[in-house]
């Protein structure tokens, strides 16, 4: 298969849906020689902040001279973003070659009576195989959904399990309480391993502590009390912080929002743990360079000036609160326009209630995803909050209309779905 045929093959497995369980992964990876067992993995779960945390960790390790794989989902603009080594996307010819090999193994396992793997299982398998071929030193592995039965949790051991901020999301699959969701996320914690955990609700922490106790795992909680943010705007943030006993002054990150300071401190705690327990050689200069060079597109990311155009993947209550906080801090008194599209299975009403009162005008569109809520229905919901709502079914039309009807001093925010903002990012950058 060539690259396009490989993508088509992967996309066609979408019809098999999401299936939690590890039997298929076990068989498929066995047929490929179990590449995942040869990797040193930093496994990262949580509702919000997984990608940012993985990116900070990866950037610091890269600056320290290590070869690092980064596995994230979904992608914003191109499929190959999902599988990276030292910031470089997997080459298209490697996608084609590895998917062709995986397809052969899938045909073999299906002939033996196994179910057809899902899209996520195939992509995760490709990532393991590629990272093993590339002989990476570490992999920052982002969980796809939940943790306990996620395809990434096929790994038998990890260098460390990282639990980011937990909130309500995917309630139809993971459970309708924080405790149930925390139980699924905490499923990545390994027997006699270590969990580094974002300071969050007691409901979530109590569940994770119990998992650690049952598995005789080390529980490390990352607090955010001792932080002094000295500068915070839409260009960068500078802060002092104490991280696992070490004091740092004037650390700088380019990612926007208080929550990204917290995510960077979570990442630094992981780095400090690896230095202290695994003997990694990482200098303060490596840390500083790694932080400032971290990029994580699509999360309160400025993609244009005059008018300022920000994109953000906020699609649940916690994400919406982080975005609202950043808006209030940076854009008080500005004329604000929102360009929004959402998926039907997200907490639409919760997100709208938080964000909509801040906007003078809203343009609604439909993300290119079978799970999208129609622009008509979304417009109806938003009309309760905002008088000036314009509907443009096609994303490109929505972006063009938004830009044509904005002044140079306005602020445009596009949010609601990662599947949509990737397209928005491409359209605006191409202009």
Dihedral in degrees, nearest 10, Cα atoms 11, 14, 16, 18: 140
Alpha-carbon distance of 165 to 205, in angstroms, equals: 10
Query: What is the structure's pLDDT at 245?
Result: 87
CATH topology (fold) of 3-292: 3.40.1190
Among the listed residues 135, 186, 111, 153, the one whose alpha carbon sits nearest the alpha carbon of residue 21: 153
In which element (H, E) is residue 231 found?
Answer: strand 227-232
| Main-chain dihedrals φ then ψ at residue 170, nearest 5 degrees | 50, 45
Give pTM, 2 decimals.
0.93
Cα end-to-end span (Å), the chain = 33
Query: What is the structure's pLDDT at 182?
Result: 97
Regions of the chain with pLDDT less than 70: 16-20, 171
- Cβ pair 354, 317 in contact under 8 A: yes
Cα dist. 146→54, 170, 185, 230, 236 in Å? Answer: 16, 9, 5, 35, 31
- Listed in order, the ranges of the chain carrying CATH 3.90.190.20 are 301-430
| Main-chain dihedrals φ then ψ at residue 391, nearest 5 degrees | -105, 130
Pairing of strands 411-415, 336-340: parallel
Among the listed residues 1, 68, 9, the one whose alpha carbon sits nearest the alpha carbon of residue 39: 68
Residues 6+ apart with CB under 8 A from 266: 49, 53, 162, 164, 196, 198, 222
Among the listed residues 257, 298, 292, 332, the one whose alpha carbon sits nearest the alpha carbon of residue 420: 298
Alpha-carbon distance of 240 to 250, in angstroms, equals: 5
Pairing of strands 138-142, 68-71: parallel
Structure tokens at 128: 């393991």
Structure tokens at 344: 């039907």
Residues 6+ apart with CB under 8 A from 384: none
Alpha-carbon distance of 356 to 415, in angstroms, equals: 11
Query: What is the structure's pLDDT at 20?
Result: 63
Alpha-carbon distance of 216 to 199, in angstroms, equals: 20
151-195 tens-digit pLDDT = 999 999 999 999 999 987 776 778 789 999 999 999 999 999 999
- Listed in order, the ranges of the chain carrying CATH 3.40.1190.10 are 3-292
Q: Which CATH number does 301-430 carry?
A: 3.90.190.20
């Amino acid at each position: 298969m060539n690259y396009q045929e490989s993508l088509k093959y992967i996309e066609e497995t979408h019809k098999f849906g999401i299936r939690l369980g590890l039997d298929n992964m076990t068989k498929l990876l066995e047929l490929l020689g179990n590449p995942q067992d040869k990797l040193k993995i930093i496994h990262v779960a949580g509702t919000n902040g997984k990608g940012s945390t993985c990116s900070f960790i990866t950037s610091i390790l890269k600056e320290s001279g290590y070869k690092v794989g980064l596995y994230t989902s979904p992608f914003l603009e191109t499929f190959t973003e999902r599988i990276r080594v030292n910031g470089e996307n997997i080459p298209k010819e490697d996608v084609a070659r590895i998917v062709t090999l995986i397809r052969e193994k899938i045909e073999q396992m299906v002939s033996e009576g196994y179910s057809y793997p899902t899209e996520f299982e195939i992509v995760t398998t490709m990532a393991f195989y590629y990272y093993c071929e590339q002989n990476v030193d570490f992999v920052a592995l982002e969980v796809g959904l939940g943790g306990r039965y996620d395809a990434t949790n096929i790994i038998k051991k990890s260098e460390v399990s990282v639990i980011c901020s937990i909130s309500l999301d995917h309630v139809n699959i993971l459970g309708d309480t924080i405790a149930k969701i925390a139980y699924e996320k905490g499923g990545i914690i390994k027997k006699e391993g270590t969990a580094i955990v974002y300071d969050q609700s007691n409901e979530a922490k109590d569940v994770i502590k119990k998992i650690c106790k049952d598995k005789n795992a080390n529980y490390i909680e990352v607090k955010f009390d001792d932080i002094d943010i000295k500068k915070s705007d839409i260009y960068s943030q500078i802060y002092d912080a104490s991280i696992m006993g070490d004091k740092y002054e004037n650390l700088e990150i380019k990612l926007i929002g208080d929550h990204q300071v917290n995510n960077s401190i979570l990442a630094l705690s992981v780095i400090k743990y690896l230095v202290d327990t695994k003997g990694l050689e990482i200098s303060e200069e490596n840390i500083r360079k790694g932080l400032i060079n971290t990029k994580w597109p699509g999360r309160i990311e400025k993609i244009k000036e005059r008018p300022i155009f920000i994109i953000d993947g906020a699609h649940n209550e916690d994400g919406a609160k982080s975005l609202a906080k950043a808006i209030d801090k940076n854009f008080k008194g500005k004329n604000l326009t929102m360009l929004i599209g959402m998926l039907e299975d997200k907490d639409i009403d919760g997100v709208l209630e938080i964000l909509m009162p801040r906007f003078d005008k809203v343009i609604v569109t439909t993300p290119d995803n079978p799970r999208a809520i129609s622009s008509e229905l979304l417009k109806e919901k938003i009309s309760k909050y905002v008088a000036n709502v314009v509907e443009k079914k096609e994303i490109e039309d929505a972006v063009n209309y938004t830009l044509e009807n904005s002044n140079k001093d306005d602020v445009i925010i596009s949010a609601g779905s990662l599947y949509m903002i990737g397209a928005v990012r491409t359209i605006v950058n191409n202009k």
